[in-house]
Amino acid sequence: MIHLVAPLGGKVIGKAASHEDAWWLCSRYGLAPLPLADSSVVDLVDAEDGTKLWTVRCEHVEFPFDRGAFENRKRDSLAELDNGLPAWPVAEENGIAFSTFKARLRRGWSGERAATEGTRDISPNPDDEWEKTALENGVSVRAYRARVQAGCPEAIAATMGLSWRKW
């Protein structure tokens, strides 16, 4: 069962399925919840509109009080998983960049798919000597191919660092 989460005396910051999830959500938003070992730290109460609400006892109850917490809250509200929880933390755990996650959502992907589907790796062509040179020089296959497609000569695309556009 999914319930809303709010620090004691504060505004609702998200949703959680358990006491532990509610505690971690408050921690993620930069709040300092009391230790989880105390069973009275997280309470389940009825909100004014009849919905269930986990309340977490925290040192700070005003939100947002720091930029990182505000960015987490904004990103968490972009999409939800099938179970109703925010999708961005799952995407972050899976190593998906925020720009990739956001672009997937703009293309119409579900929150679940955007957060869990891995990124594609481009395998190098074993017959292309310049690709081998690019990899030896720390240039990825994707970057090398993009440079060549943009009109850069292969020798420069494989050997130049970030200043390749100045050739």
Could you read off the pLDDT of 57-99 as tens digits, one per residue? 877 656 555 666 667 777 888 888 887 788 888 888 888 888 8
pLDDT at 162: 65
- Name the residue ranges covered by the structural domains of the chain: 3-56, 78-116, 129-166
* 167 pLDDT more than 60: no
pLDDT of residue 39: 63
Helix (H, G, I), strand (E, B) or coil at 15: strand
Calculate what percentage of the chain has a pLDDT beyond 90. Answer: 9
Q: Under a CB-based contact definition with an 8 Å cutoff, are residues 14 and 25 in contact?
A: yes
Q: What is the pLDDT of residue 60?
A: 63
Residues with Cβ within 8 Å of residue 7, at least 6 apart in sequence = 13, 26, 31, 33, 55, 56, 57, 58, 60, 61, 63
- Residues 2, 32: Cα–Cα separation, whole Å: 22
CA dist 85 and 114 (Å) reads 14
pLDDT in tens, 12-71: 787 888 888 888 888 877 777 887 776 667 888 877 777 788 888 877 656 555 666 667
